[in-house]
Structure formats: C-alpha cells, structure tokens
Chain A
Amino acid sequence: MKTGDFINALVEDQGAKESPFGPKLGAQMAAALAVSLVIFFVFLGIRADFKSAITDPHVVFKFVFAASLGSSLLPLVVYALRPEFHLVPFLRWLALPILVLGGGVAFQLLTSPSEHWLSGMVGRFPVACLVNIPVLSIGPLVVLLMLLRSGAPTEPVLSGALAGAVSAGIAAFIYALHCPDDSALFVALWYSLAIGLVTVVGGMLGRYWLRW
C-alpha cells in the first residue's frame, strides 16, 4: 500500500476523538475509589476507636503521608499522557512524601522512648498492611493504567510505576482508616514496602500494557 493511499484511510477515520483529559477522567477515578471503598467497608471497616485516635498526631501522620504521595505524583500520571513530556525531571516531586515520612519518623523518635521503637516498627499487623494496601490499590491502578493507555506515554515503565505509586497512596489513605498500628516507624517500614510493591507491579504492567 502506498503512503498516499494509506492517508485516505486515516482521513476517513477522522471523526471526533475523545480527549483523555476530559470529564470521563473524573468519573473513572470516582469509580476506582468506589471499588476500593466497597472492598474496604466489606472486609476491613473503620477502626473502632477512630474518633479518639484521629486526635493523635501519629494517626494523622499516616493520612498526611498517604495524601502527600498520591497528590504529588497524580499530576505526573496526567502529564504522562502526553508523548512529549519527560517525566524524569519531575521525579523530584517525590521529595514531598519523603520529607513528610522523614518528619513523621523524627517526630516518632522524639515522642516515644527508645525501648518502644522496635515493637512499634514491627507493629501488630504488618502482614495485613502488606496485603491490604495492594488489594485496595487494584481499582485505582486499573483505572490509571486504562487512562494511560488512552494517552501516549513514551515512558511506559515509568508511567506504569507512577500509576502504581499513586494507587498505593490512595490505598494507604483508605487503609489508614482501619490500620491500628500507629507508629511512624511502622509506616516507614510496612507502608513503604507495600507501596513499593504496587509501584513495581505498576511498572511491570506498564512495560507490557502501555506500549503503543
């Protein structure tokens, strides 16, 4: 087929294209959140002492950390839809959640006696953390990967990994409503591991699913 002929087909296929930046994005995100929240309320539920716990800065820290991770990287996932966008220079935005985490750990070390550090870090339910955060991140991850597929990410692995990290941030925020382990050292170890796991899975999926 000659290129001039091939262009005929492209021109006929011109019809209106839906922008991935449109209102559908909001609806998809809402659907993803709904999936995670349903899983959360069916299998986990909000911790019984939530009302008193939420006044504890250690508990608040978990939400701040999760929110800082998700909100600092979500714009990058949206940028990744554009082929000309180079993601790597923007990875410095990761400094925000890392600083928050560092601050939380410092606060923990200052406010608790050193003999509690190890028990706080190991916590009571580390396995639950490692399972629940990835499970809760499935919905958001699928939606973000679908979103990226509708765009033109030229860095598929990194884009997928970012989608994983954002999903894990969302999942960590939801899981923090349930999680009874309140030491920032627990967050630094287990939350980070769970988030890292989802990030790696996102990158692997991106490698196969986001190429075009």
Chain B
Amino acid sequence: MKAIDEQADALGKLLQRANAGDAACYRLFLEKLAPLVRTLARRGIGFIGTPLADLEDAVQETLLAVHLKRHTWLEDQPIGPWIGAITRYKLIDLARKYGRRKEIELDETFELAAPEPEEPLLPEREMTRLLDSLNETQRTIVRSISINGVSIREVAGTMKMTEGAVRVALHRGLKALAEAYRRLEP
C-alpha cells in the first residue's frame, strides 16, 4: 500500500505542476499514468482475455478522459481516488462495450504471455479509425501533433492558421474523439 501511496503522491505533484503550466511535468504525468491504467485494465473489470489492441484502446480512452476532466481534481485532495474513479468509470463503460464483441473470448495464455504493463507492439485500432470521424482540419492537427510529434506552432505554420486557432481545433478534436469513442457501437 505504501508504494501505491508514494506513486500517487508523485503523480499528484506532477499534475499540480502541470496545471501550473509545466508541459514536461504533464508529459511525465501521462507517461507514468499510462502503465498504471494498462495494468488496471488488464487485471480488472472484464478485460481479461481482451486482445491487446482493444486493451490499448481502453488505455488511450482513459488517458483522454483524465485529460479532459483534469480540472475536476482539487489539488488539496488525494489524487489516487480521483484517478481510480475516472479509470474505473471508463473501464466499466468500455468493458461493457467490448463485452458484447464476439472476438473477445477468454484466453488463458494471454495473461501469462504478456504480464508486463508495457505498451503492446500491436497498434490499437479504434483511435486511428475514430480519427476519420473528425473534420479534416482537426484530423490533420491531431495526427501531426501526435504521430509526427510536431508542436502547435509548427502546425500553425504549415497549415497557415494562427496558433490560437490550432489550439482550439486540437481541443475540439480531442473532445470529439472522446465523444465518438463513447458513441462507438461494438
């Protein structure tokens, strides 16, 4: 339990500094959070036997939810229960969705084969597919910033948009992704 508390403590400090505008801390926060969510998804709530790709979808979807709802964490409150609640909410929702899928069958070897909470080599499927539901500007922006790793400023340059407009489009794009994911029918 102590290790978990310390981990949560570290995450809390990172998010606090991230909320104060420190991008490097925010990246670190998300990078530390991802394997935790992956472990939770793998162990729990109906995901055992889920194909790796779907599992990674769940991880990304949960990270997106944490991102879009990060303002609901009160900095004087412990961050562990907050993260736990969001993860649980998303995973239950997603497990319900995946639970109806035919391709998901309990595979005993799965857990033995891949116990480490590392990102699978297999790329997830939905997030890429969901990108198609965005409008062209949003899609280009989300894609170039994530996959190509360019900054908002660079995107603004190549797309001949103001940085503010790119920022707005990126934010709307991410919100639209969350919405599209939520509406996704199995």
Interface of A with B (CB < 8 Å)?
1-21, 81-85, 151-152, 154, 211-212
Give the one of A8, A15, A211 with max B CB within 10 A. Answer: A8
Please state if A152 and B167 are interface contacts (CB–CB under 8 Å). Answer: no
- Given A5-B146, A212-B178, residue A20 in contact with residue B71 (CB < 8 A): yes
Residue of A nearest to B24 (CB): A11
Contact between B71 and A17 (Cβ–Cβ < 8 Å)? Answer: yes
CA distance A76 to B31 in the complex (A): 33
Option from B74, B123, B170 in Cβ contact (under 8 Å) with A1:
B123
Query: A11 touching B72 by the CB < 8 A rule?
Result: no
B72 and A20 within 8 A (CB): yes
Residue B176 interfacial (CB < 8 Å): no
B145 touches A211 (CB 8 A): no
Contact A212 B69 (CB under 8 A): yes
| Residues of chain A with a CB closer than 8 A to B93's CB | 211
Residue numbers in B under 8 Å from A151 (CB-CB): 69, 72
Q: Name B125's closest neighbour in chain A (CB-CB).
A: A1
Question: In the assembly, what is the distance between CA of A1 and CA of B59, in Å?
Answer: 12
Measured CA separation A6–B142 after assembly (Å): 9
Q: Are B170 and A13 in contact (CB-based, < 8 A)? A: yes
Greatest chain B CB density within 10 A among A2, A81, A82, A84 is at: A84
- Asked if B44 CB lies within 8 Å of chain A CBs, one says no
Is B180 located at the chain interface by the 8 A CB criterion?
Answer: no
B79 to chain A, nearest CB (A): 9
Contact A7 B72 (CB under 8 A): no
Chain A residue at smallest Cβ distance from B69: A152
Partner of B65, one of A16, A81, A212: A212
Contact of A9 among B23, B31, B145 (CB under 8 A): B145
A–B Cβ pairs within 8 angstroms, 23 of them:
A1-B60, A1-B124, A1-B131, A1-B146, A3-B56, A3-B60, A5-B147, A6-B60, A6-B63, A8-B145, A9-B142, A9-B170, A13-B167, A13-B171, A14-B18, A14-B23, A17-B71, A82-B73, A83-B89, A85-B85, A151-B69, A151-B72, A152-B69
Q: Total A-B pairs in contact (CB under 8 Å)? A: 113
Closest to B87 in A: A83
The answer to whether A83 and B170 have CB atoms under 8 Å apart is no
Where chain B touches its partner, the secondary structure class is: helix
| Chain B residue contacts of A17, Cβ below 8 A | 19, 70-71
Is the CB–CB distance between B151 and A12 below 8 Å?
yes
Chain A, Cβ-Cβ closest to B171: A13
Min CB distance, A80 to chain B, in Å? 10
B127 in contact with A7 (CB, 8 Å)? no
Known contacts being A6-B146, A9-B174, A212-B65, is A83 close to B72, with CB within 8 Å? yes
Which 10 residue pairs of A and B lie closest in terms of their CB atoms, listed nearest first?
A17-B71, A83-B85, A84-B85, A9-B146, A152-B69, A84-B81, A5-B146, A152-B72, A10-B67, A154-B89
**How many angstroms between the C-alpha atoms of A1 and B86 in the bound complex?**
22
Chain B residue at minimum C-beta to C-beta distance from A4:
B119
Per-residue CB contact flags for chain B residues 143-158 toward chain A (1 = under 8 Å, else 0) read: 0011101011000000
B119 touching A3 by the CB < 8 A rule?
Answer: yes
Q: How far is the CA of A1 from the CA of B56 in the complex (A)?
A: 10
Tell me if B133 counts as interface (CB < 8 A to partner A). Answer: no
Assuming the contacts A5-B149, A9-B145, asked whether A211 and B182 have C-beta atoms less than 8 A apart, the reply is yes
* Residue pair A10, B82 in contact (C-beta under 8 Å): no
B residues near A12, Cβ cutoff 8 Å: 145, 151-152, 170
Which chain B residue shows the least CB distance to A9?
B146
A8 touches B71 (CB 8 A): no
Q: Which of A21, A83, A211 contacts B69 (CB 8 A)?
A: A83
A13 x B174 contact (CB < 8 A) = yes
- CB of B34 within 8 A of chain A? yes
Contact B27 A7 (CB under 8 A): yes
